[in-house]
Structure 1
């Protein structure tokens, strides 16, 4: 492995934030390094917030770098922290989600079947088998990005996004699966739905799930 394979890409987001993007494919071990890096840099006095994403980390500043020399120093400090980061295994909860697959709750199940060549029962079996780690929260409040989906049901994102899917929609997009926390547009294939509420602004914390939690999809019903 050469230096280019280990260094992160660091991009300023205006003058008050930056995005650090890590090399490599989506996997649990590098994501755990992101979690570790977030904990480290959150303690730096110039950092207001460190927000883990999928293969990335966004930093907002309490004290933005004053000039180019300060930016260069911060970038070098971040690169060193990323290279030194060891995987952090967060011990979260296991949350079971009952899912109705297919039918009106899974309007794009047929698209996944057509792409993969599998039957609906095979898609449901492969989708509900893993214990999915929550990698990060994002996209919209309470939405969780999950790892660990079986590659046999991976399906490219929709060429034309859907204007709105309901809260609780269980979808596949590329090599990932996720659950919509609120109604809104989506470019993923919705294959089912759960009745669980993932975000409540009156609750503390408002998001039900956190990075390190695990999700298991339980088959409540399959509508063919």
Structure 2
């Protein structure tokens, strides 16, 4: 797989593997990220995976040949894809409770009608899939998930909402995602989790989900939602 290098500024390099949303491409992005972390690159501050690209952020550069050496080390890893691990097998496993009742997923009935399915079919198909966190974006902790049943693909709303409740589970096109806090948004809301997905005061792990993690949703009723919400403090 060809990897294109793009220097964004003196602190950042973008590695672009493709220009598409594809589970296999995204798996390769996470595999490359794992390989580059293991390479112990000097001054590497952060690795930020996206659907089909990987951003490398560095501390202030050292002038001179050190930059050429760093580029060469990155290229050595990039050009040896057989050494990249199967990153998606290494992500943490999460079972996320979700209430798909219309009181928490106000678009679920409309989604079912548009897809010529029952609400029960939508819930069953959405909760049966195993998802992988492809990336975090849009807002801190917002998880974009790959693995949704293609039959559930839905266009975004014509008019976005100004306020989407924290924990909302939504469909946008062929993607599904979780709103980590109250935000504006135009995706179709089909449920909500009572768990806190983002805590800015947790220095160790502010985001419950990380890129490469695996997720499965567990349907719960409104009473269980209220109980779990109280227990989690969300």
* Residues 115-124 or 81-90, more deviating: 81-90
Deviation at 1:146, TM superposition (A): 1.2
The whole-number CA distance in structure 2 between the counterparts of 1:12 and 1:213 is 28
Contact 1:164–1:183 (Cα < 8 Å) also in 2 = yes
Q: Which residue of 1 aligns with 2:225?
A: none
Give the one of 75, 80, 84 matched to 2:80: 84
Tell me, which stretches of 5 or more residues in structure 2 are unaligned? Answer: 223-234
* Residues 44-53 or 18-27, more deviating: 18-27
The whole-number CA distance in structure 2 between the counterparts of 1:160 and 1:19 is 33
- How large is the Cα RMSD of the aligned pairs? 2.7
Look up the SS of the partner of 2:217 in the other structure. Answer: strand
Q: Specify whether residues 91 and 36 from structure 1 end up closer, same or farther in structure 2 by C-alpha distance, changes over 3 A only.
A: closer
Q: Which residue of 1 aligns with 2:207?
A: 207
Look up the SS of the partner of 1:195 in the other structure. Answer: coil
The whole-number CA distance in structure 2 between the counterparts of 1:207 and 1:189 is 23
* Residues 142-151 or 87-96, more deviating: 87-96
Q: Specify whether residues 127 and 201 from structure 1 end up closer, same or farther in structure 2 by C-alpha distance, changes over 3 A only.
A: same
What TM-score do you get using the length of structure 1 for normalisation? Answer: 0.80
The whole-number CA distance in structure 2 between the counterparts of 1:62 and 1:88 is 25
Look up the SS of the partner of 1:159 in the other structure. Answer: coil
Q: Give per-residue Cα distances to partners, 1:183-216, cap 9 Å, x unaligned.
A: 1011211111110001223332222222332221
The whole-number CA distance in structure 1 between the counterparts of 2:181 and 2:167 is 7
Query: Where do 1:10-159 residues align within 5 Å?
Result: 10-23=5-18, 25-42=20-37, 43-64=40-61, 74=71, 81-85=77-81, 86=84, 87-159=86-158
Q: Which residue of 1 aligns with 2:219?
A: 219
Tell me, which stretches of 5 or more residues in structure 1 are unaligned? Answer: 1-5
Query: Where do 1:170-181 residues align within 5 Å?
Result: 170-181=169-180
- 2:3 maps to 1:8: yes
The whole-number CA distance in structure 1 between the counterparts of 2:137 and 2:15 is 16
Look up the SS of the partner of 1:105 in the other structure. Answer: coil
What TM-score do you get using the length of structure 2 for normalisation? Answer: 0.77
Contact 2:27–2:88 (Cα < 8 Å) also in 1 = yes
Q: Specify whether residues 83 and 190 from structure 1 end up closer, same or farther in structure 2 by C-alpha distance, changes over 3 A only.
A: farther
